[in-house]
Amino acid sequence: MTVAGPLAHAGHGAAGPSWFPLFPVALLAVCYVLAAVRDPRGWDHRRTAAWLVGCALLAVAVGPLAQLPDNPSGHMAQHLLLGMLAPLGLVLAAPVTLLLRVAPPPMRRLVGRLLRARPLHLLAHPFTAALLTTGGLALVLLTPLYAVAERHPVLHHAVHLHYLAAGYLFAWSLAGPDPAPHRPGLAVRVGALLAASAGHAVLAKYLYAQAETLPPGLTDREPEAFRSAAQLMYYGGDLAELLLAVALFATWYHRRIGSRRDAPTTVTGRAPSTPDLGTGTEARPGRTRSGRLP
Amino acid sequence: MPPVARESRNGDVPPAHWAFPQLWPGMFHAVRGISDPIQLTARCVVVDSSLPRPRSADVRSSTLVGVLIGIAIMAAVDEIVFHQLLAWHHFYDRSTPSVALLSDGLLHAAELIILVGGFFWFADLRRRRALSNRLAWGGFLLGAGGFQVFDGVVDHKVLRLHQIRYGVHLLPYDVLWIASGAVLLLAGAGVVWWARSRRPDSRPR
């Protein structure tokens, strides 16, 4: 960041520990590939590719980008990768469906029960998830939290973890191929995407306009660097919105082929307690959607 | 025999205007009433082989999908040509009030969603053979012109988000901007009117 040098570097640590976040990312990639290989029915390679792309984006965000000398644009690129682009790849890889295929029955039951839990439905509602992503970002950038996170590595990583989790939740609630009981209809999801993207764009322009004073609490600032970071945020947000919209409408488009054929048999919207879930290539959301029709 | 067949068809297939009764929420309506348009389409595709093609084109959806894509393409042209290539428009104008900032963000986000949703809907109509190309083109011109006029009047003049160009006398630019939008709008209206008058059967009542 543009805070004084020693403070900034305290936040990122020396060369050693800052590479540490790469290990969980590598672990995620390896676990998924091992599970995909073990899947008895054969796992769609495109899903594996989506997962690996997501992991690669994560690795770029927590590895090389974290090593760069501090500047607002680097932080913004990290946010874009962690909170918007990588989660979409991870979500499209349908990890829960894969887990349900290869896990032993007790684990499947547990996942099924978890997916049926009411708090999860509330948390995974598109508007809740939109609030968590865009609202969380606004909280970081408009309050002294940004400056504090610069100085405390633990908080810094916690913020990144929040970006990733909220981004994953949002992408899953909109367009995830994984089972999602009680997922709202297309109009609600498009509305949530609109709200989140508009919030993101407004926040970016507001930061651009107020680059002299925002984010608050920094000791040393370069407004010009923050303006270019705000522009990156604006156009990067557009890219993420575009990809999310494509994923969202693609589930709708593919759903309509299927519903012509098997509309009478999909009147369930049930939670996935059986191993027999998801083909791995079908768009799941429409199933719960059509379950709501009379 | 033929009367019986027609009766049964009228019995379980709603008339076209029932399936797409509204103009603007039609996009979501088509999705919400998912079973109806599909049933309807299934029949229409069958009808398509025996009757003249125009019977199967969905007039409102074809026009509306053209309008949506027109709006989105014009917005993209505005963003790419005037913001990025020419750099005439500014990313942010010092005089922009914060309400305008909010509406600008909403519009900007909506444009992208309209672009993607419009193309998927277009593909869906084509797949169902319910697309009328002429109406879609007419709608495209309507949408593009409408956006241009809206951008020129509301964004530039009423909300004062940004101006077309800075450091010049603005009047000729504004006049040219809005007039070109109006020409597109009129051309679109003409094409839609012409396409509809060529197929009196498919005009919604």
Yes or no, beta carbons of B113 and A245 under 8 Å apart:
yes
pLDDT above 70 for B27: no
Q: What is the pLDDT along chain A (294 residues), one digit of tens a residue?
A: 333 334 344 444 444 456 777 888 899 999 999 888 888 888 888 999 999 999 999 998 888 777 777 778 888 888 899 989 999 999 999 999 888 888 888 889 998 888 888 888 888 899 999 999 988 888 888 888 888 877 787 888 888 899 999 999 999 999 888 888 788 888 999 999 999 999 998 888 888 888 777 777 776 777 788 888 888 888 888 899 999 999 999 988 887 555 444 333 333 333 333 333 333 333 444 333 333 322
Domain ranges within chain A, ordered by starting residue? 5-259+267-291
Secondary structure (H, E, C), chain A: CCCCHHHHHHHHCCCCHHHCCHHHHHHHHHHHHHHHHHCCCCCCHHHHHHHHHHHHHHHHHHCHHHHCCCCHHHHHHHHHHHHHHHHHHHHHCCHHHHHHHHCCHHHHHHHHHHHHCHHHHHHCCHHHHHHHHHHHHHHHHHCCHHHHHHHCHHHHHHHHHHHHHHHHHHHHHHHCCCCCCCCCCHHHHHHHHHHHHHHHHHHHHHHHHCCCCCCCCCCCCCHHHHHHHHHHHHHHHHHHHHHHHHHHHHHHHHHHHHHHHHHHHCCCCCCCCCCCCCCCCCCCHHHHHHHCCC
Q: Do B112 and A206 touch (CB under 8 A)?
A: no
Summarised one tens digit per residue, pLDDT across range B35-46 is 444 444 444 443
Q: Is residue B144 very low, low, confident or very high in pLDDT (cuts 50, 70, 90)? A: very high
Q: What is the dihedral of CA A98, A104, A110, A111, to 10 degrees?
A: 0
Higher pLDDT, A255 or B114: B114
pLDDT at A37: 87
- Enumerate the residues of chain B whose CB falls inside 8 A of the CB of residue A190: 28, 113, 117
Looking at residue B4, what is its pLDDT? Answer: 39
Q: Is the CB of A209 inside 8 Å of chain B's CB atoms?
A: yes
| pLDDT value at residue B34 | 40
pLDDT at A92 (0 to 100): 92
Task: Tell me the chain B residues in contact with residue A126 when contact means C-beta distances shorter than 8 Å.
Answer: none
Answer whether residue B156 shows pLDDT above 70: yes
Which of B84, B96, B113 to probe the A interface (max A CBs under 10 A)?
A: B113
Mutation target for A interface from B92, B93, B104, B119: give the one with most A CBs within 10 A: B92
Does A209 contact B28 at a Cβ distance shorter than 8 Å? no
pLDDT at A40: 82
pLDDT of residue B88: 67
Complex ipTM over 0.85: no
**What pLDDT is recorded for position A249?**
92
User: What residues 252-281 of chain A have any CB closer than 8 A to a CB of chain B?
Assistant: 252-253, 256, 259-260, 263
**Which residue in A186, A194, A289 is closest to B28 by CB distance?**
A186
